[in-house]
């Protein structure tokens, strides 16, 4: 695998910083950062801590000729920089979600295909060992026919990034593509990954708290899949302590998992016994971010259709838009 690939980071927040640290862990060191805003302290921090120079002129990005752009800025700016990436023939690693609307997605799809560029949407939970095992179990028929699943993700927004004022975060601001449906779209994405395409969606999307935000802080979602599974998905900015869980009920067994737990619980109906089927005692959560980055780099030179492609990203974004539109 080539180790001289050139990367340009767009967005120097916590997730962008994680990605460049992981690139360096994978021995990719030819990296620059681009920022629309001039912040001398941040520039110095990136140069001193990570040996990464920040540029503020897009012409300098073009002169660098990056093999890939790591797009980790606010959601509403994702497609703007995806377009820039295609103009300079760079592959795209983009933080979820794809965008805050479907406008411009079709044009991106056409351009990527014409230029044979790789697009990868970073949904890190797809690489979590518990979810990988759940998918393996479902695909192998280990749960029998799926009756239903309950999925939950919630965390009090001011606790989320406690180093910054939550009111200024992209999660809190409509103009930046915030709100629980898009910010917590991991749950919509892995529901699609595990259970397939959606037939019907109904929802209740509201702002019910006194948080100083102009987006929804809770979404209650019911989905019927094309395979007939019933899914309940709960998303919120309100819970203390934070909670992220999945429960699946089938004819042959059930699964229960709370993210962060050290094991995955599987109840086998035939044996009538509760089993721990994945040992996560020594699991480092950063590994799923490393795995997705490694997968992206490998896919750059692979013409095969890969996981987390634009087709999946567009489908999940449309589902998110439908969730908002179908709110009672």
- pLDDT 10s digits, 17-66: 999 999 999 999 999 999 998 899 999 999 999 999 999 999 999 999 99
> How far is 93 from 72, CA to CA, in rounded Å?
9
- Per-residue confidence band for 164, with pLDDT thresholds at 50, 70 and 90: confident
Report the top-level CATH class of 128-283+311-325.
alpha beta
| CATH 3.30.360.10 domain residues, the chain | 128-283+311-325
Q: Which long-range contacts (CB under 8 A, 24 or more apart) does 259-268 make?
A: 259/128, 259/130, 264/130, 264/133, 264/134, 266/137, 266/142
Q: What is the pLDDT of residue 305?
A: 60
Looking at residue 327, what DSSP letter applies? B
If pLDDT is split at 50, 70 and 90, which confidence band does 275 have?
Answer: confident
Is the confidence at residue 109, as pLDDT, over 90?
Answer: yes
User: pTM, whole model, 2 decimals?
Assistant: 0.94
pLDDT score, position 54: 97
**What is the pLDDT at residue 3?**
66
CA 302 to each of CA 112, 164, 221, 318: distance values in angstroms, whole numbers, following the listed order: 14, 39, 36, 27
pLDDT at residue 304 above 70? no
For the chain, give every residue range classified as CATH 3.40.50.720: 6-117
pLDDT tens for each residue of 228-239: 999 999 999 999
Q: Looking at the predicted structure, is the pLDDT value of residue 301 above 90?
A: no
Looking at domain 6-117, which CATH architecture does it have? 3-Layer(aba) Sandwich (3.40)
């Amino acid at each position: 695998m080539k180790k001289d690939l050139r990367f340009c980071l767009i967005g120097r927040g916590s997730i962008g910083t994680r990605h460049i640290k992981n690139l360096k862990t994978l021995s990719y060191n030819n990296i620059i950062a681009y920022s629309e805003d001039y912040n001398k302290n941040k520039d110095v921090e990136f140069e001193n801590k990570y040996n990464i120079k920040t540029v503020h002129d897009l012409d300098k990005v073009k002169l660098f000729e990056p093999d890939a752009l790591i797009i980790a800025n606010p959601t509403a700016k994702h497609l703007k920089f995806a377009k820039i990436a295609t103009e300079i023939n760079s592959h795209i690693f983009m933080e979820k979600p794809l965008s805050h609307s479907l406008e411009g997605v079709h044009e991106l799809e056409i351009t990527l295909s014409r230029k044979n560029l790789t697009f990868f949407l970073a949904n890190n939970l797809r690489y979590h060992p518990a979810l990988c095992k759940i998918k393996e179990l479902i695909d192998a028929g280990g749960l029998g026919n799926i009756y239903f699943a309950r999925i939950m993700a919630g965390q009090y927004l001011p606790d989320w990034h406690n180093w910054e004022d939550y009111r200024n975060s992209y999660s809190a601001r409509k103009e930046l593509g915030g709100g629980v449906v898009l910010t917590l779209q991991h749950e919509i994405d892995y529901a699609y990954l595990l259970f397939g395409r959606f037939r019907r969606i109904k929802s209740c999307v509201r702002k019910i708290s006194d948080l100083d935000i102009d987006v929804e802080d809770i979404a209650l979602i019911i989905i019927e899949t094309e395979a007939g599974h019933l899914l309940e998905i709960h998303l919120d900015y309100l819970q203390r302590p934070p909670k992220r869980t999945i429960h699946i009920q089938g004819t042959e067994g059930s699964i229960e998992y709370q993210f962060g737990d050290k094991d995955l619980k599987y109840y086998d109906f035939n044996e009538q016994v509760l089993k721990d089927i994945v040992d996560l005692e020594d699991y480092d959560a950063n590994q799923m971010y490393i795995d997705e980055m490694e997968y992206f780099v490998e896919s750059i030179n692979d013409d095969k259709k890969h996981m987390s492609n634009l087709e999946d990203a567009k489908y999940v974004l449309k589902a998110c838009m439908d969730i908002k539109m179908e709110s009672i």
